[in-house]
């Protein structure tokens, strides 16, 4: 990607059929499905691609057993269908993940109730994955799990992904179909025109601002899709509509796998409020989540975990794995995401709010929000059916087509790589894996300690993946900032020359970016400061 060329195309490339606002999974999905119809599509993202909630999820591609428990059968069925499509078409990037649910004597839900729920889950997916394990079998999969009154556990199959890379993969597919996608370009205001035949005005484009240079310009489009996630109310309310989102924060911990070694995910019940909490293997580490509470902070600031949330998650771990004596010293990184949940308006407990997505047409502004990572394709298609009122060609969205084009046959040169690296590259970079290999310098095929990430991926990302700031590179193109302590500060000596060479940064620019990155890590991805926190129960609204 060449930013200068893309900006020139953005300014001079109209008229556009669709302007997608927001480069998270929802916007990426809409851009891909719209491009597939042959429409002229542009997507702008104010921060970085996946810079919002789509890089801060629990990274599950799942049907949502919890939603089934809430009676949301339609949502579960749709999610399971999409999960299986992604497993089939994005293998490696989306990978099967088995969950085990320990069952203890006298505890609820018991063996039989879980069997019924999992039976329905499997039936909706159309295949049996559930399996009963005795106590020894469960302990073998989760060493250190409390064996007190453990009678066994059910396991079942779901899937997981690298969420930010999934967004990038969808965007890359959209680009290959002709869509123009730009990060660090913000929609400042919507442009409206009076409609003689309709009451009021209709949205016909937006005033954009390049956040790197501060330059602003107008872009006209026949249809504007508001895929700004938890920020969706900002554009909607600018047209005079009432806000409808209830931002709910969920936070996670990442521990080294040797402190909490799991061969598969474990579902736990929090001792304080019986909310489901999980610990799962991800990228060679162990991910623990999540909380669910009202997020009352300014949405302009990146979210971070509070001390109460940290204590809450550690409490769940210590209760489930008492022998491991886990403490905050074991936490390598943390992150929080804010869910764009459409408020029921009933003021219910956060975990009881419905998680269905919403698609709205308000004066030609198509808002799509509240969806899951898993269901991005079906959500995008629904948004396009709505947008087809303004751009009829969008009605041609292929309801049965594949998510991704089938990959080309992998080049034989890739077989020279270690099998794990080869598979990783094919999964993440698809047809670009061979070009990535050609870009790599001889010593860049080695992986960075405690990660599966090769140095070559950093060079490739700087050169071809629209990296503007250091956090784009370390938190989303790669996940080094999550996988390594202090955001990967130890990498600086080798990282600096590579980044300066590829991005043409002076020493001052590097220093500015490094300082900014470290401040971001300290604020939003590390342990929270040890100050009194007045939220006592993170499961309840603050
Ligand atoms: C804690 C947590 C865990 C989750 N776990 C899972 C999970 O395991 N599996 C699952 O399927 N789902 C999960 N979800 C749900 C899922 O992650 C989100 O619903 C999804 O990522 C939302 O995507 P989005 O594109 O709507 O929003 P976002 O990813 O937030 O994207 C919106 C984008 O719009 C941009 N934007 C905002 N304003 C503007 C503007 N004016 N101009 C241009 N761009 C703008 C933002 O910068 C942002 O990047 C989880 C959510 C949370 C909070």
Does the pLDDT at position 199 exceed 70? no
Please tell me the predicted confidence (pLDDT) of residue 533.
Answer: 47
**What distance in Å separates the CA atoms of residue 179 and residue 387, rounded to the nearest whole number?**
17
In the block, tokens 């069925």 appear at 77
Residue whose CB lies within 8 A of the most ligand 1 atoms, among 28, 52, 87, for a mutation test = 52
Ligand 1 centroid from CA 292, angstroms: 15
Please tell me the predicted confidence (pLDDT) of residue 540.
Answer: 44
Ligand 1 contacts CB of residue 155 (under 6 A)? no
Nearest to 482 by CA among 63, 59, 182: 59
Please tell me the predicted confidence (pLDDT) of residue 361.
Answer: 95
Three-state secondary-structure class, residue 489: helix
Q: 338 has which bridge partners?
A: 249
pLDDT band with cut points at 50, 70 and 90 for residue 531: low
Does the pLDDT at position 12 exceed 50? yes
Ligand 1 atom 38 nearest Cα: 228
Please tell me the predicted confidence (pLDDT) of residue 105.
Answer: 93
Does the pLDDT at position 376 exceed 90? yes
492-521 average pLDDT score:
98
- Six-digit token pair at 211? 């956040």
User: 115 Cβ partners below 8 Å, 6+ apart?
Assistant: 130, 132, 154
Please tell me the predicted confidence (pLDDT) of residue 532.
Answer: 54
**Stronger pLDDT, 88 or 194, i.e. the higher one:** 88
Please tell me the predicted confidence (pLDDT) of residue 195.
Answer: 72
Phi, psi of 206 (to 5 degrees): -155, 155
pLDDT single digits (tens) 263-305: 999 999 999 999 999 999 999 999 999 999 999 999 999 999 9
**What distance in Å separates the CA atoms of residue 376 and residue 12, rounded to the nearest whole number?**
30
* Percent share of the chain, pLDDT over 70: 95
Ligand 1 contacts CB of residue 47 (under 6 A)? yes
Please tell me the predicted confidence (pLDDT) of residue 175.
Answer: 95
pLDDT single digits (tens) 126-166: 999 999 999 999 999 999 999 999 999 999 999 999 999 99
Please tell me the predicted confidence (pLDDT) of residue 542.
Answer: 36
Nearest to 436 by CA among 446, 448, 426, 450: 426
Ligand 1 contacts CB of residue 377 (under 6 A)? no
Ligand 1 contacts CB of residue 58 (under 6 A)? yes
**What distance in Å separates the CA atoms of residue 171 and residue 165, rounded to the nearest whole number?**
10
Q: Give this prediction's pTM.
A: 0.95
Ligand 1 centroid from CA 371, angstroms: 8
Please tell me the predicted confidence (pLDDT) of residue 196.
Answer: 62
Neighbours of 446 (CB within 10 A): 12
Residue whose CB lies within 8 A of the most ligand 1 atoms, among 31, 42, 44, 58, for a mutation test = 58
Please tell me the predicted confidence (pLDDT) of residue 397.
Answer: 67
- Six-digit token pair at 538? 């993170």
**What distance in Å separates the CA atoms of residue 368 and residue 213, rounded to the nearest whole number?**
29
Task: Kindly give the number of the ligand 1 atom that is closest to the alpha carbon of 249.
Answer: 53
Ligand 1 centroid from CA 370, angstroms: 8
Contact 41, 17 (CB under 8 A): yes
Q: Pairing between strand 185-194 and 180-183?
A: unpaired
Please tell me the predicted confidence (pLDDT) of residue 174.
Answer: 95
Does the pLDDT at position 104 exceed 60? yes
Please tell me the predicted confidence (pLDDT) of residue 205.
Answer: 96
State the sign of the Cα–Cα–Cα–Cα dihedral 104, 110, 111, 114.
Answer: negative
> What distances in angstroms separate CA 100 from CA 49, 273, 306, one per listed residue?
33, 20, 28
**What distance in Å separates the CA atoms of residue 432 and residue 408, rounded to the nearest whole number?**
10
Contact 33, 346 (CB under 8 A): no
* Percent share of the chain, pLDDT over 90: 81
pLDDT single digits (tens) 377-388: 999 999 999 999
374-401 average pLDDT score:
89
397-407 average pLDDT score:
74
13-37 average pLDDT score:
95
Beta strands (DSSP E) in 328-466 are 333-342, 358-362, 365-369
Does the pLDDT at position 431 exceed 90? no
Q: Pairing between strand 276-282 and 94-104?
A: unpaired
518-526 average pLDDT score:
97
- Six-digit token pair at 102? 């320990």
Ligand 1 centroid from CA 369, angstroms: 8
pLDDT single digits (tens) 108-126: 889 999 999 999 999 999 9
User: 377 Cβ partners below 8 Å, 6+ apart?
Assistant: 29, 33, 82, 85, 403
Q: Pairing between strand 41-45 and 180-183?
A: parallel
DSSP conformation class of 284: T
Contact 13, 360 (CB under 8 A): no
pLDDT band with cut points at 50, 70 and 90 for residue 451: very high
Residue whose CB lies within 8 A of the most ligand 1 atoms, among 212, 228, 278, 353, for a mutation test = 228
219-246 average pLDDT score:
95
């Amino acid at each position: 990607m060449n930013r200068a060329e893309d900006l020139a195309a953005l300014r001079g490339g109209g008229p556009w059929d669709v302007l997608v606002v927001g480069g998270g999974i929802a916007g990426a999905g809409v851009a891909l499905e719209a491009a597939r119809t042959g429409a002229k599509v542009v997507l702008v993202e104010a921060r970085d691609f996946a810079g919002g909630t789509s890089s801060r999820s629990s990274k599950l591609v799942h049907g949502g057993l919890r939603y089934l428990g809430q009676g949301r059968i339609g949502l579960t069925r749709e999610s399971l269908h999409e999960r299986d499509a992604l497993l089939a078409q994005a293998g490696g990037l989306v990978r099967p993940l088995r969950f085990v649910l320990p069952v203890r004597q006298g505890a609820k839900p018991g063996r039989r109730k879980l069997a019924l729920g999992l039976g329905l889950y499997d039936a909706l997916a159309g295949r049996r994955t559930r399996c009963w394990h005795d106590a020894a079998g469960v302990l073998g999969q989760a060493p250190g799990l409390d064996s007190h009154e453990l009678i066994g556990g059910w396991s079942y199959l779901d899937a997981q992904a690298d969420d930010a890379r999934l967004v990038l993969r969808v965007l890359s597919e959209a680009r290959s179909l002709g869509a123009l996608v730009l990060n660090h370009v913000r929609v400042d205001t919507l442009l409206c025109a009076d409609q003689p035949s309709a009451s009021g005005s209709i949205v016909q484009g937006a005033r954009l601002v390049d956040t790197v240079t501060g330059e602003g310009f107008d872009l006209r489009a026949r249809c504007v899709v508001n895929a700004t996630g938890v920020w969706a109310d900002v554009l909607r309310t600018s047209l005079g509509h009432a806000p409808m989102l209830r931002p709910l924060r969920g936070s996670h911990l990442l521990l080294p796998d040797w402190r909490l070694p799991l061969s598969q995910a474990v579902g736990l019940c929090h001792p304080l409020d019986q909310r489901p909490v999980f610990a799962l293997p991800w990228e060679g580490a162990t991910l623990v989540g999540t909380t669910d509470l009202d997020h009352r902070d300014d949405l302009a600031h990146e979210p971070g975990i509070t001390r109460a949330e940290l204590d809450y998650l550690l409490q769940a771990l210590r209760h489930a794995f008492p022998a491991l004596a886990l403490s905050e010293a074991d936490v390598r990184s943390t992150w929080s995401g804010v869910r764009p949940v459409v408020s029921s308006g009933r003021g219910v407990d956060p975990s009881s709010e419905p998680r269905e997505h919403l698609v709205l047409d308000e004066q030609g502004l198509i808002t799509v929000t509240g969806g899951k990572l898993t269901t991005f394709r079906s959500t995008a298609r629904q948004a396009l059916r709505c947008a087809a009122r303004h751009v009829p060609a969008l009605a041609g969205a292929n309801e049965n087509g594949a998510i991704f084009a089938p990959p080309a046959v992998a080049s034989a040169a890739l077989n020279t790589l270690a099998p794990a690296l080869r598979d990783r590259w094919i999964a993440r970079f698809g047809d670009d894996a061979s070009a990535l290999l050609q870009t790599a310098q001889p010593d860049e095929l080695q992986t960075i300690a405690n990660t599966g990430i090769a140095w070559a991926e950093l060079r490739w990302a700087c050169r071809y993946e629209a990296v503007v700031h250091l956090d784009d590179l370390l938190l989303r193109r790669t996940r080094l900032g999550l996988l390594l302590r202090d955001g990967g500060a130890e990498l600086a000596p080798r990282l600096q020359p590579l980044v300066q060479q590829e991005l043409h940064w002076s020493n001052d620019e590097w220093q500015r970016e490094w300082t900014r990155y470290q401040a971001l890590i300290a604020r939003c991805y590390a342990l929270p400061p040890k100050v009194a926190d007045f939220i006592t129960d993170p499961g309840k609204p603050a």
